[in-house]
Amino acid sequence: MDFTYIAAFVWLMMFSPAFGSTIPNSTNPNQAEACVNGGAISLTFDFYLSSCPEAEAIVFAWVEKAVSDDPRMAASLLRLHFHDCFVNGCDASVLLDDTASMAGEKSAAPNANSLRGFEVIDAIKAEVEYFCPQTVSCADILAIAARDAVVLSGGPAWEVEMGRKDSVIASKAAANNNIPSPNSDLPTLLSKFQALGLSLQDLLALSGAHTMGKARCSTFSARLNGGGPDINLEFLQSLQQLCATNTTLADLDRATPSTFDNRYFTNILSGEGLLPSDQALVGGVDEARALVHSYALDARVFFRDFAKSMIVMGGLQSPAAGEIRRNCRAVNQVLP
């Protein structure tokens, strides 16, 4: 595998006009600090420059293969990063398997039989460990893979801040409580984002991740029952027909389901938001509706804000002590 070529390719894409004219950085262009529950940790853009220069190229190569084999995997890898960061920060706790003494996050209601892509992360980690043993965290791999999944689907690029540690614990209860429900209204969504220090603009921009991927019919049953005064009736009928067996997956964006674009915002303006939480974004808050309109009108504005918000969300960290896991599914064994 020619990592030099892949790394150069990633770098060129990051500065290509096709992915936006500006890559947003934090206030300090080389370092950012973010916290969850008062803790702080420094992240940098060039964290592995000396210790594992191959890291980003390895991640990109595996994500490229995974998305080529299954375009839906792009949304799945992006979602893994989201669901990780919303539970005690971006610490790869979502990747931990259950143990005799710990119920992991994989079995939480928002994740069970829903999250995908664990095998892709396993493959990336195995190769990274071969080149750079116990150097690159699983949490950083999730953050890089999310960025690459967006880029490979036609979306914006951004520099990923790195230096995260992997959690030694997971919390099923926190996953159940912190991850927004697909039936959430706007005040509930905003309260969950604000609890992490994320703004209304972050909420709107990051919701645009639903421009690709699929959802189970059970997650939008309220829409199927005619919920919402602004639902498009033709759209409702198509969903009812699709979900007649209640086992079918529906595209979050039926127009361009595998492309990262701004169609999601066009959809919700026309009453075609798949999830109740999608359609809730245009329900009564002027600032939220204005952002939806701006993103629907100009993909470049959406791309810019999405990339910026991904950096902010990716900076969320737990103050708890962490490690660099050798296996993303389990904490390192304590040697006698």
The annotated binding site is made up of 84, 87, 89, 91, 93, 105, 180, 210-211, 253, 256, 261
Rounded Cα gap, residues 96 and 170, in angstroms: 7
* Among 318, 63, 313, residue whose Cα is nearest residue 207: 313
Q: Determine contact, residues 209/82, Cβ cutoff 8 Å.
A: yes
Confirm whether 293 is a catalytic residue.
Answer: no
Rounded Cα gap, residues 83 and 161, in angstroms: 18
Question: CB count, 10 Å around CB of 246?
Answer: 10
* Among 103, 97, 98, 159, residue whose Cα is nearest residue 122: 97
Four-residue CA torsion sign, 7, 11, 17, 20 = positive
Query: How buried is residue 31: exposed, middle or buried, by Cβ count under 10 Å (0-12/13-18/19+)?
Result: middle
Q: Which residues contact 290 (CB under 8 A, 6 or more apart)?
A: none
| E-assigned strand segments in the chain | 31-34, 41-44, 166-167, 214-216, 249-251, 322-323
Annotated binding site for Ca(2+), which residues?
84, 87, 89, 91, 93, 105, 211, 253, 256, 261
| Catalytic residue of the set 72, 79, 81, 83 | 83
Q: Determine contact, residues 52/132, Cβ cutoff 8 Å.
A: yes
SS3 content of the chain, % helix, strand, coil (to 5): 50, 5, 45
Query: How buried is residue 53: exposed, middle or buried, by Cβ count under 10 Å (0-12/13-18/19+)?
Result: middle
**CB crowding 92-119: b at 16 or more within 10 Å, else e:** bbbbbeeeeeeebbbebebbeeebbbbe
Annotated binding site for heme b, which residues?
210
Our separate counts of H helices and E strands in the chain read 14, 6
Annotated binding site for substrate, which residues?
180
Q: Catalytic residue positions? A: 83
